[in-house]
Amino acid sequence: MGIPDRLKALRAAMKNKNVDAIIIPSSDSHQSEYVAAHWQARTWISGFTGSAGTVVISQEKAGLWADSRYFLQAEEELSGTGIELQKMHNPAKPGIIPWLKTQLPEGGKLSLNGLQFSESQLRQYRRKLKSANIEIVTELDLVGEAWEDRPSLPKEPVFEHDVKYAGKSREDKLAEVRRHMKSMKVEHYLLTALDEIAWLFNLRGADVACNPVFYAYTLVSMDACHLFVQSSKVPQDIRGKLEKSGISLHEYDAVLDFCESLPEGYVLTQPGLINAQLYSKLPLKQVIEGPNIVRRLKAIKNETEVEHIREAMRKDGVALLRMYRWLDAQLDKGETITEAALAERLNQFRGEQDLYVGESFNAIVGYRGNGAIVHYRPMPETSASIRKEGVLLLDSGGQYIDGTTDITRTTSWGPVGEAEKQAYTRVLKGHIALDMIQFPEGTTGAQLDVLARMHLWNHGLNYGHGTGHGVGFFLNVHEPPQGFVASVSVERGNTPFKPGMLTSNEPGYYETGEFGIRIENLVLCVPGADTPSGKFLKFETLTLFPIELDMVKRDLLTNEEISWLNNYHKKVYDEIAPRLKEEERFWLEERCRAIH
């Protein structure tokens, strides 16, 4: 069934329920970034495979709202579907609310699946559409009615993440959570984010691609703990360990009825994470909407986690080195290597490393103009062939039992023009500036973001994505709350950095149809100096792989920046070389050479 036929089937289901329009998001019932096939309704109805975007369909028209990261990709994938790209933050294009007001009649009916929208999202839509007298219904699953061969929820088994990697037992984590609950005077704490549940119980799963999580809900009480998960997914030995830790298991779907008859006492939850249907089951007089305890605890990596992350970085550096050497050799022999083939080969090299599980996200391999598509994913049938010329952007990451990696390198494969070198060097200067800064406690990502952009801004250049995101420990590669972003109105922008936070540093620059540049390392927030002005913090780079030197314009770098680059490359060589064969060490030595 093609996209036009799917739209026809969905509109028939809408008409049957007297629905005038429907909004289809990218999320699942846990507000996840990566979702199981069962929840990929937006992709099914539109054909758009980007990780973020919203489809809105009326009886007459359909649109996809996506941000600048996906403009090029969306235009290609929506071609011929009857769905129009509505570019977000573009004055020439209406937002979802204004568009809906032109499509819905007075007193019209709008459908939002209450499982896929958070409570806070539902409140926003109700507030913004109240003046238009539009009814919002949340109990319908119209996509489910139209999607005949919809995949079932995943049944992959849960497995244990050993405390020798996690650094803290589930009992210790529960005790820490309860101490925070006590200070907040709440008797219950409802967790719905999958990575938070996985972290709390030192469990992992394989229900979604790239993120080692499993579908579950959790209610922590002062004297009990309830885990709602499909029972067939929990092996008997793990079930016994959980019960010994005072954790009661319930079927996944039982959470709705359980929350309707919640024991007395206040329950803590976050309206931005809990789906609207589950929120509606909570006794409203008991609800406290407050800070996310587990999110804040999880963001601070303990000493055990940090030491394992260092080891994961060494392994990742070895895998990347072998992949780039392999690519160089294949191209020298005249072999044709596509972007998709290179992504698969990198996954194979990572697979040779100890404790490797899989990719932390779908590798972005963008050759020449494809590198300008920020979240480009090469597909076997359409990806470009890499040659000994031009610029290659490769953004990839690995999930190891002992850590999660995320690294981007932009490399040249022949003579590079002045524009590419200028842009590359200014991106590098921003990367270095953010890495070198020392800042007082309480500083947020929005305050630091400008450091990565200033050398581009001074020349009228910019990039449309954030400069960095938090990273999990054998968990989600995109982990709130901290990050580097220009806006103070979002969590990544207004969260103060604290020692133990692991964050990406990834400024970039993109020329549509020509090239893309991004340089990314993961940095750990660590204590800095104690001064008369107070305590300061700084960053330590953990990623270990050479930064391309052949695209650097030496005259644009200060002596301090050159010193940073040389010191970084010395660290890379010292950490990785002992693991390499002789010919590999020669390759690494050349790419870690000092510049003067």
HEC-encoded secondary structure of 465-484: CCCEEECCCCCCCCCCCCEE
Out of 3.40.50.300, 1.10.10.10, 3.40.350.10, 1.10.357.10, which CATH number does the structure's domain 3-146 have? 3.40.350.10
* CATH 3.40.350.10 domain locations along the chain: 3-146, 159-299
Which of 524, 538, 507, 542 lies closest to 443, judged by CA?
A: 538
Residues 6+ apart with CB under 8 A from 476: 33, 34, 195, 211, 213, 404
Q: Which CATH architecture has domain 159-299?
A: 3-Layer(aba) Sandwich (3.40)
pLDDT at 73: 83
Q: Where are the alpha helices (DSSP H) in 333-405?
A: 339-351
Residues 6+ apart with CB under 8 A from 73: 48, 49, 50, 373, 375, 376
pLDDT at 109: 96
Cα separation, 234 vs 244, whole angstroms: 15
Q: Do 33 and 478 touch, CB atoms closer than 8 A?
A: yes
Q: Does pLDDT of 518 surpass 80?
A: yes
| % the chain with pLDDT above 70 | 100
H or E stretch at 537: strand 534-541
Q: Does pLDDT of 106 surpass 90?
A: no
Q: Does pLDDT of 94 surpass 90?
A: no
Q: Give 275's DSSP letter.
A: B
pLDDT at 207: 97
Which of 69, 576, 134, 21 lies closest to 373, judged by CA?
A: 69
Cα separation, 263 vs 544, whole angstroms: 50
List the structure tokens of 160. 């244990």
Cα separation, 443 vs 78, whole angstroms: 41
Cα separation, 568 vs 185, whole angstroms: 47
Q: Does pLDDT of 70 surpass 90?
A: no
Q: Does pLDDT of 374 surpass 90?
A: no
Q: Does pLDDT of 593 surpass 80?
A: yes
Which of 456, 537, 450, 447 lies closest to 501, judged by CA?
A: 537
Cα separation, 400 vs 403, whole angstroms: 5
**Average pLDDT in the 323-328 region?**
98
* CATH 3.90.230.10 domain locations along the chain: 303-591
Q: Give 520's DSSP letter.
A: B
Q: Give 357's DSSP letter.
A: E
Mean pLDDT score of the chain, rounded to an integer? 96
Cα separation, 203 vs 369, whole angstroms: 41
Residues 6+ apart with CB under 8 A from 567: none
pLDDT at 131: 87
Cα separation, 503 vs 452, whole angstroms: 14
3-state secondary structure at position 60: coil
**Average pLDDT in the 61-68 region?**
92
pLDDT at 377: 84
Which of 213, 397, 371 lies closest to 309, judged by CA?
A: 397
Q: What is the pLDDT of residues 531-555, one digit of tens each?
A: 999 999 999 999 999 999 999 999 9
DSSP-assigned beta bridge partners for residue 509: 517
pLDDT at 86: 93
Q: Does pLDDT of 251 surpass 90?
A: yes
Q: What is the pLDDT of residues 395-452, one digit of tens each?
A: 999 999 999 999 999 999 999 999 999 999 999 999 999 999 999 999 999 999 999 9
Q: Does pLDDT of 284 surpass 80?
A: yes
pLDDT band at 331 (very low <50, low <70, confident <90, very high): very high
pLDDT at 51: 83
Q: Does pLDDT of 91 surpass 90?
A: no
CATH superfamily of 303-591: Creatinase/methionine aminopeptidase superfamily (3.90.230.10)
Q: Do 252 and 229 touch, CB atoms closer than 8 A?
A: yes
For 459, list phi and psi in degrees, rounded to 5.
-120, 20
Cα separation, 267 vs 249, whole angstroms: 19
Which of 371, 468, 502, 471 lies closest to 424, judged by CA?
A: 371
Cα separation, 163 vs 172, whole angstroms: 11
Sheet holding 356-359, edge to edge: 356-359, 398-400, 403-404
Q: What is the pLDDT of residues 382-395, one digit of tens each?
A: 899 999 999 999 99
Q: Where are the alpha helices (DSSP H) in 282-395?
A: 293-299, 303-332, 339-351
* Amino acid symbol at 219: L
pLDDT at 376: 85
